[in-house]
Amino acid sequence: MLSILSVEARKLNRSLAALLALAAPSLIAVFAFFMLLRGDKPQPWEMWLGSAAGIWAFFMLPMSVTALTALVAHMEHGPKSWDHLRALPLPRWKLYAAKVVCVLAVVAIMSAATLGLTIVAVKLAVMIKPVIEPTGPMELARWIKVLAMMFGAALLMAAIQLWTALRYFSFVPGLVVGIGGTFFAVVATSAKQGVFLPWQMPVNMLASEPWRVTTALGLGCGVGLLALVAMTIHLARREVR
């Protein structure tokens, strides 16, 4: 399995995945940087880190997962590599499991980068304009936990996106599902039913009602893991023609 993971990592490393992994969290940090510079009064750390986590979970995470899964799948769809890979003396499920691991690893790195780059952006803005230095504790451990929960709640969404992207040769079905899911997550933010929408599950980690947090995390992580296993089995068994 390690050799397959190393091959996947090498392929990803030479694709535009690194650019995507850096771009999405950077955009949030850049936004926070300019928002800080616009202000005249100091705000608590919670406001900056909370809004960064919110933007990440609400919009950037679903869109990044959509783009990343399309990219990962198209690495094989584009050059029509499946026949070559599937003819090798390797259990096919490992090929798909390696893709799952790589996608989740990149999402985890992006989640960490969102937090890290936002803190850097705040510090940089303070260097330029010391009067806006955030007040209160940073509570880094708390925000790491929140982002980790968002990651867990995003598993179902990641499974659906990766499944669609790997199943269909064209990247269009994956994009339609991703854009559609994000659209409904955005327009139905306050809807009670939104907690059951995979694309809205991560942002529910910031909900004030505990049932929303536990429901979204339980469904997103639990059903997400099951969906990833089902995806791996289904793709390994199906014929690619």
Told to check if 3 binds other proteins by CB under 8 A, we report yes
Which of 79, 131, 141, 210 contacts other proteins by CB under 8 A? 79
User: Contact, 126 vs 132, CB < 8 A?
Assistant: yes
d(CA 17, CA 23): 10
Q: How far apart are CA 205 and CA 153, in angstroms?
A: 8
Q: Could you tell me the smallest distance in angstroms from the CB atom of residue 21 to other proteins?
A: 17
Query: Per-residue string for binding with other proteins, 39-78, x by CB under 8 A?
Result: ------------------------------------xx--
| Token pair 């202000």: residue | 39
Any idea how long the chain is? 241
As a whole number of angstroms, the longest Cα–Cα distance in the chain is 63
Number of chain residues interacting with other proteins (CB under 8 A): 26
Residue 234, interface with other proteins (CB under 8 A)?
Answer: no
Task: Decide whether 81 or 189 has the Cβ nearer to other proteins.
Answer: 81
Dig out the tokens for 37 from the structure: 């510079």
Helix 140-153 to helix 155-167 angle (10° resolution) is 40
Tokens representing residue 123 in the block: 């510090």
| Subset of 8-37 contacting other proteins (CB under 8 A) | 10-11, 14-15
Report if residue 233 touches other proteins, rule: CB under 8 A.
no
Residues that bind other proteins in the complex, under the rule CB under 8 A: 3-4, 6-7, 10-11, 14-15, 75-76, 79-91, 239-241
